[in-house]
């Protein structure tokens, strides 16, 4: 009986998300009829399609490779959540910093990290983004401003505030964007970080990627407040919920937050309402949700939505999109070939990259 009440609660949340999504789509279709013009440039729409499709195809391959035991250990797929990364990237600029949890393949791919470096990391090879020493949960890429990849739930939230502090201190005009899950939103570290970020008006964007579940536990089972964006209100932090199955809505919300941060007005808290199509990790029987629930979200797939808009607006043809798909197929296969051909780290690598100082006394001979 108790379980049914929880399911019902969660069904209500989903219904809310659906009506939000459907309303936005129908509003947009009406707007399109009136204006017959897309809101953003061709470049932006094509970036959204290509980057989300790369994330999807790359991770579908990861799932297969995991089944073949080519990839081992933890592996959390982002499939379904791609609008969160691509919609953020298009709204931000070079120099901004990104930090997330362990579901961390999609964001660096959206930022332009080489699929080869990520696949090699998943294989534990020396050519990987973290020299094969981090694995799936610890992808890093300084070049694109991606500061990980963190396995401890919620640990990256104060680090994200610290990244924003550094940008403010150095007067760069850059912002930090910190992603975490709905499960992490109940960690004490979030509240400490929110309080300090507001007190110091840090140029920070905090994003809870609310995919409905922390492992197999729904939001409604662990929280009296299920509208997670409301957590920001305790700190007077501007906060809003975003239909994150819609990449345009993500782009718009992150653009507003970044403008506030760059104007010195401090942090913003965004609740991205999203969904993961796959299990929590690779060993999840998914008994906590129904197939119908997953299928209902797939009806609002972020890639299909942007594809439809591209075709409706005549931004590109089906043949153009097919050509992108073919390019991605090659890219993904190349990343597998690269990872397969790369060597594992040698034993002495275990002592490298542990401390910043090369001569750290604890590792002196
Ligand atoms: C401090 C801590 N507690 C528990 C875990 C085990 N754990 C790993 S993922 C996870 C669920 C987190 O869910 P959520 O924050 O919603 O992120 P999602 O996996 O949905 O992206 C838990 C409890 C952990 N890694 N760290
Ligand atoms: Mg979650």
Q: Is the pTM of this model over 0.75?
A: yes
pLDDT of residue 351: 83
217-218 and 268-273 strand pairing: unpaired
Question: Is the Cα dihedral 296, 232, 173, 264 positive or negative?
Answer: positive
pLDDT at 35: 55
Question: Ligand 2 centroid to 45 CA: how many Å?
Answer: 27
Q: Is the pLDDT of residue 6 over 50?
A: no
How confident is the model over 286-306, as pLDDT tens digits? Answer: 999 999 999 999 999 999 999
Topology annotation, domain 2-343: Rossmann fold (3.40.50)
Q: Residues 110-126: what's their mean pLDDT?
A: 98
Q: What is the pLDDT of residue 4?
A: 36
pLDDT band at 361 (very low <50, low <70, confident <90, very high): low
Ligand 1 proximal residues by C-beta, below 6 Å: 103, 151-153, 181-184, 211, 213-215, 280
- Please list the residues that pair with 217 across neighbouring strands: 214
C-alpha to C-alpha distance for 331 and 354, rounded to whole angstroms: 32
Rounded-to-integer distance, Cα 224 and Cα 218, Å: 12
**Count of other CB atoms within 10 angstroms of residue 358:** 7
What percent of the chain shows pLDDT beyond 90?
85
Q: Are 135 and 73 in contact (CB under 8 A)?
A: yes
Hey, where are the domains in the chain?
2-343
Quickly list DSSP for 169-238: HTT----EEEEEETTGGGSHHHHHHHHHHHHTT--EEEEEEE-SEETTEEHHHH-S---GGGGGGGGT--
Helix (H, G, I), strand (E, B) or coil at 273: strand
335-358 confidence digits (pLDDT tens): 999 999 999 999 999 888 887 777
Alpha-carbon distance of 299 to 45, in angstroms, equals 20
pLDDT in tens, 217-272: 999 999 999 999 999 999 999 999 999 999 999 999 999 999 999 999 999 999 99
Question: Which of 10, 184, 215 has most ligand 1 atoms within 8 Å of CB, for mutation?
Answer: 215
Q: What is the pLDDT of residues 72-103, one digit of tens each?
A: 999 999 999 999 999 999 999 999 999 999 99
Q: Is 37 exposed, middle or buried (0-12, 13-18, 19+ CB in 10 A)?
A: exposed
What percent of the residues of the chain are helix, what percent strand, and what percent coil, each to the nearest 5? 55, 10, 40
Average predicted confidence (pLDDT) for the chain: 91
Q: Which atom of ligand 1 is nearest to the CA of 182?
A: 16
Ligand nearest to the CA of 102: 1
């Amino acid at each position: 009986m108790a379980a049914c009440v929880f399911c019902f609660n969660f069904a209500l949340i989903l219904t809310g998300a659906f009506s939000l999504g459907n309303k936005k789509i129908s509003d947009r279709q009406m707007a399109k009829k009136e204006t017959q013009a897309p809101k953003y440039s061709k470049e932006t729409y094509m970036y959204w399609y290509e980057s989300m499709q790369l994330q999807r195809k790359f991770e579908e391959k990861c799932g297969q490779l995991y089944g073949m035991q080519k990839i081992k250990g933890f592996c959390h797929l982002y499939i379904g959540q791609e609008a969160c990364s691509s919609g953020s990237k298009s709204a931000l600029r070079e120099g901004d910093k990104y930090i997330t949890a362990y579901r961390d393949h999609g964001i660096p791919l959206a930022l332009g990290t080489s699929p080869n470096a990520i696949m090699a990391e998943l294989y534990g090879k020396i050519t990987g983004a973290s020299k094969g020493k981090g694995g799936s949960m610890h992808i890093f890429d300084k070049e694109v401003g991606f500061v990980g990849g963190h396995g401890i739930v919620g640990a990256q939230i104060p680090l994200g505030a610290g990244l924003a502090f550094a940008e403010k201190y150095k007067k760069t005009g850059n912002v930090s964007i910190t992603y975490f899950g709905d499960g992490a939103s109940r960690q004490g570290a979030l509240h400490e970080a929110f309080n300090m970020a507001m007190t110091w008006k840090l140029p920070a964007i905090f994003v809870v990627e609310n995919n409905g579940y922390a492992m197999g536990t729904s939001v409604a089972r662990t929280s009296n407040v299920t509208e997670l964006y409301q957590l920001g209100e305790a700190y007077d932090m501007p906060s809003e919920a975003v239909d994150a199955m819609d990449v345009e809505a993500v782009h718009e919300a992150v653009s507003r937050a970044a403008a506030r941060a760059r104007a010195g007005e401090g942090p913003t808290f965004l609740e991205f309402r999203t969904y993961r199509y796959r299990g929590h990790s690779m060993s999840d029987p998914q008994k906590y949700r129904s197939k119908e629930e997953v299928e209902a979200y797939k009806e609002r797939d972020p890639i299909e939505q942007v594809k439809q808009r591209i075709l409706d607006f005549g931004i590109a043809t089906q043949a153009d999109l097919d050509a992108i798909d073919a390019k991605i197929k090659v890219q993904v296969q190349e990343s597998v070939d690269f990872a397969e051909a790369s060597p594992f780290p040698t034993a002495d690598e275990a002592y490298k990259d542990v401390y910043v100082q090369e001569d750290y006394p604890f590792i002196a001979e």
